[in-house]
Each structure stands twice: as structure tokens, then as C-alpha cells.
Amino acid sequence: MLAEDARGRDAEYHLTASANSLREAIALFSAIDGPHVRRSEVGICLGLSARTQLTWYRLLNEKPALVHADELARQAAELQTPAQRKDGLHLMILRAEIAAANRRYADGRKLLGDVIESLISERGARYSEILAHAYLARARLTRASRGTSNDVLPDLRKAREIFLAQKLGHAAASCEWTMLTSDSKSVTKLKITRNDVLQIEALNVDPRIRLAAITELERQVDAGTVNHPTGRRTSWATLIDQAQRSEQRDTMR
């Protein structure tokens, strides 16, 4: 979703466009299906609409969007059929994330546990993208419910491993950034303070660029061109700019 890599008005623009497109899709599929709604794509669209509303709540902190997400996810679950197993698992993860946002941690943990247990028992599913998303969601839920870094990191490492195997760089970087904000020593030998994290997050939304900036600082420290600095003396804006220019060069090759 484009909105997840945007902020402010840009995020609102993308979220509004997504919500409008999904409403139109639901209307079209409903018209096509007539009384046979259970066999249509309406449930999938409702799930995507719930995801849009949850993202709206996360980015813009609008409580009504979370209430709407919960209702849309409930409607989507009612329209799921046994044949839509993959979509059903995605929806269970979404419902768990909504439960966590509503501080219903036990409900969310139960849903995610069911998804994970179901997938790891399947042949060939141990490296599925859905499983990685479930591990990531459980790690975030554990962190939100004040779990320790020792509780959070194992699921993040499992998710990152799967995303890397699937060559999903952005998702893998998202896991690694959450690892760093849980315990910076799990990612870098540098001391990354809470102030550092806040500065970096304010400068760029892409976890790949954030991590590249830290890697560049590590390189400079190892080369002896800078001393190991404290957070307030680190020019994160310069490091982020260097990381972005390096990313642009790599993209142009």
C-alpha cells in the first residue's frame, strides 16, 4: 500500500483513493453476483478495505477508522468460503492486528497462533510469505503488550529470514528496523539511542534507507573517519541523504 510509505497529506490522499476504489469494486462485484454474494470477490474487497482503515488509523491516528476496520473485517470473515483458505489466513492476521490495536492482545495472539501452527504443519509452507507476515504481526503484538526484546526478536528473525528467501527486501528491512528499535545490538554494533531512532524515522519512512544510513555510519566509524558519536552529534540528515543517493545510483544501474 502506497500510503504506508507516505506521511501527512500524501498518506491521506493514497488512503482516500484506496477506500474509494474498493467501494467501487464492492459495488461492481455485488451487482455481478446478485444473490450469490458468498461466491464473489466481495469478501476479499472488504478485507482490503479493513486493511486500508487500519492503516488510516495507524498513520493518521483516527479512532473511527479503527472501529470501521473492525466492522469491515467482521463482514469479510462472514463472506469467506472454505475454498478461500489463503485469503482466510490473511484475514486472520488482519483481524489479529486490529485486535492488537484495540488492546485485545489475547484475541490477537490466539488468531496468530492458529495461523502459524496451521502453516508450519503444512508441507512446503515453512517459507511462505503468509507465515512471515504472521510472525511479524505476532512480534509487533508482543511488543505492544510490553513483551521483552527476548520475546520479540525470535519472531522477527524468522519473518526476516522468510522475506529474504522470498527476495522481499522492503519487508525484510521492516523486520530488521523493528529488531533495531527493540534491541539495537541485534542489528548493529553501534549504540543507537531512542533519540537516534526518532530522528531517523522523522527523516525517512523507508526502512531500507534508514538501515543503509546506519550501515554508512558503521563504515565511517570502522574507517576511522569519525569517532563513535552520541546520538545528538550524529548528522543523520547527511547519512540519510547519502543512503538515498546510493539507492538512486543502484536503481539506475
> Over the range 195-206, which residues count as b (16 or more CB within 10 Å of their CB) and which as e?
ebbebbeebbeb
Return all residues near 141 (Cβ < 8 A) that are at least 6 apart.
Answer: 96, 97, 100, 105, 108, 109, 112
Residue-by-residue DSSP string for 161-176: HHHHHTT-HHHHHHHH
* pLDDT > 90 in the chain, percent: 66
**pLDDT at residue number 204:** 94
Q: Report domain extents, the chain.
A: 1-81, 103-187, 195-253
Count H helices, E strands: the chain?
11, 0
Q: Kindly give the confidence (pLDDT) of every residue in the chain, 253 residues in length, as a single tens digit, with 9 standing for 90 and above.
A: 545 655 667 778 888 898 889 888 888 887 776 665 555 688 899 999 999 999 999 998 999 999 999 999 999 998 888 778 889 999 999 999 999 999 999 999 999 999 999 999 888 777 799 999 999 999 999 999 999 999 999 999 999 999 999 999 999 999 999 999 999 999 999 999 999 999 999 999 999 999 999 999 999 999 888 766 654 578 999 999 999 998 887 776 6
- What pLDDT does residue 231 have? 47
Residues 167-223: pLDDT tens digits? 999 999 999 999 999 999 999 999 999 999 999 999 999 999 999 999 999 999 998
Q: Give SS3 for 146.
A: coil
